[in-house]
Structure 1
Amino acid sequence: MSTQVEMAYRYLKDRILDGTYKPAQKLTESDLSQVIGVSRNTVKQALLKLEQEKLVEIESNKGARIKSLTLDEILNYLQIREVLEGLVASSAAVNINDTQIRKMEDLLENMREHVDSDNLDEYSVKNREFHDVIYEASTNVQAVDMIKIIKNQLNRYHFRTILVPGRTKESLMEHKLILDALKTHDSYAAQQAIQVHISHIRETIDKHYNYLI
């Protein structure tokens, strides 16, 4: 991939994932080429790569559109993620080291503080970092890669499940149970704890979808 195509690809992908470009929004090559400062052909190549990642849809004579997911597709992705997260956590429980455990303890304490101060944005940041340590500790690199692909699909919807009353405290307790299992290097308990956590996210989105979108 050329430097310019890479630049256009990163520009578009970042704005898809951060919600600047919304699901089902149309993208025009001529407009994007002016905004990014590259040729239309460069934009087209970047869009083709994003299509491969299932972030955009390209139709003949209709141009590109940000891929939109139905509720059923979102729930299916989360069901797949639940299984994959279990595999990753099971592996991480065996391989996690003391430094990583201490980092997770600090992150969990930060999360608790953010719950108490009702700082939900920072809670979400520390939540992501907590899961990143699990991914780092796991030897199942392929499962981690697949989880990240699924997260790319879902992060752009910015489901704020923590806005559902009571969900933040439930989430905090779920993370504590995950950490407890990792600290004892109990693969089965770690797998079960993280799968319960993801299943609760799925159930929350299913129940409160219209409120969260």
Structure 2
Amino acid sequence: MTSPAVDDAYERLRSLIYTGELMPNERLVEADLAQRLQVSRAIVRTALVRLGQDGIVVHTPHRGARVRVVTDAEAVEILQARAVLEALTARQAAARATAREITAVRRVLTGMERKLAEGDLLGYSEGNAALHAAIIAAARHETAARLIAGLRGQMVRFQFRTILVPGRAPDSLAEHTAIVDAIAGRDPDAAENAMRHHLSHVEAALSRRRLSHFGES
């Protein structure tokens, strides 16, 4: 059983990895992190175990924990697998979502619009994750939800990186709007296609960012 203190430490550590403040392959020292978060080492240790279960952190015997390295090539493969699974959940959500769930999804989308207008790309990216989670929940497909959770845990760094590609954020918002409109319109085919379209563009943005980094090196 977890606790609010562990949940908070987990989210804060996840955010530090998400934004790159804790870098890939960086050693995660419990004492240092406990001081940084102003919590006990036991809380940090439990949070790191959860991050390990998510595939974000790797634990090595006698060497401790490190931020897991996910290559760009692996990230593309994960996105391709997600595209299949999340297209299914978008389709199911269009058929199964309640009126209350659709309202909640639209509320998240409105929040994303606000964050983008404010120039808060991290907040936008967090809203992006919340929107996908809401769609997955509305689909009521437990197997897909479990598989997606395992994949998404490894993508936190890349989700933020792709939104930094010039021009990507407004396109992302338009893609999410199309997904939500299709679900609200009870159109399973359109919802599935919109989700596939969106994730294919995320994959392309990741590839563009990778190529731009090669050009800088």
TM-score (structure 2 length as normaliser): 0.75
Whether 2:144 is the aligned partner of 1:143: answer yes
Q: Which residue number corresponds to residue 102 of structure 1? A: 103
The superposition leaves residues 94-137 of structure 1 with CA deviations (integer Å, 9 ceiling, x where unpaired) of 11122222333344344334444434344334333322321221
Gaps of 5+ in 1: none
Whether 2:16 is the aligned partner of 1:18: answer yes
Mapped partners of 2:188, 2:15: distance in 1: 32
Change (3 A) 1:124 1:10: closer
Per-residue deviation at 1:22?
2.3
Q: For residue 88 of structure 1, what is the amino acid of its counterpart? A: T
CA RMSD of aligned residues (A): 3.4
Mapped partners of 1:174, 1:110: distance in 2: 15
Q: Which residue number corresponds to residue 71 of structure 2? A: 70
Whether 2:121 is the aligned partner of 1:120: answer yes
Q: Which residue number corresponds to residue 111 of structure 1? A: 112
Mapped partners of 1:106, 1:30: distance in 2: 40
Larger mean CA deviation between 16-25 and 72-81 belongs to 16-25
Per-residue deviation at 1:146?
2.1
Q: For residue 128 of structure 1, what is the amino acid of its counterpart? A: A
Q: For residue 198 of structure 2, what is the amino acid of its counterpart? A: H
Change (3 A) 1:48 1:107: closer
Mapped partners of 1:8, 1:175: distance in 2: 32
The superposition leaves residues 120-165 of structure 1 with CA deviations (integer Å, 9 ceiling, x where unpaired) of 3443343333223212211102212222222221114553323322
What is the aligned length?
208
Q: Which residue number corresponds to residue 186 of structure 2? A: 185
Per-residue deviation at 1:30?
6.9
Change (3 A) 1:174 1:29: closer
Give the percent of matched residue pairs that are identical in Structure 1 and Structure 2.
31
SS in structure 2 of the partner of residue 21 of structure 1:
coil
Per-residue deviation at 1:70?
1.0
Larger mean CA deviation between 120-129 and 171-180 belongs to 120-129
TM-score (structure 1 length as normaliser): 0.76
Q: Which residue number corresponds to residue 202 of structure 2? A: 201
SS in structure 2 of the partner of residue 68 of structure 1:
coil
Gaps of 5+ in 2: none
1:16–1:156 CA contact under 8 A, matched in 2: no
Per-residue deviation at 1:178?
0.8
Equivalent positions of 1:150-161 (< 5 A) are: 150-157=151-158, 159-161=160-162
Larger mean CA deviation between 183-192 and 96-105 belongs to 96-105
Larger mean CA deviation between 150-159 and 88-97 belongs to 150-159
The superposition leaves residues 19-41 of structure 1 with CA deviations (integer Å, 9 ceiling, x where unpaired) of 253210123467668886457xx
Change (3 A) 1:194 1:26: same
Mapped partners of 2:97, 2:26: distance in 1: 42
2:55–2:153 CA contact under 8 A, matched in 1: no
SS in structure 2 of the partner of residue 185 of structure 1:
coil
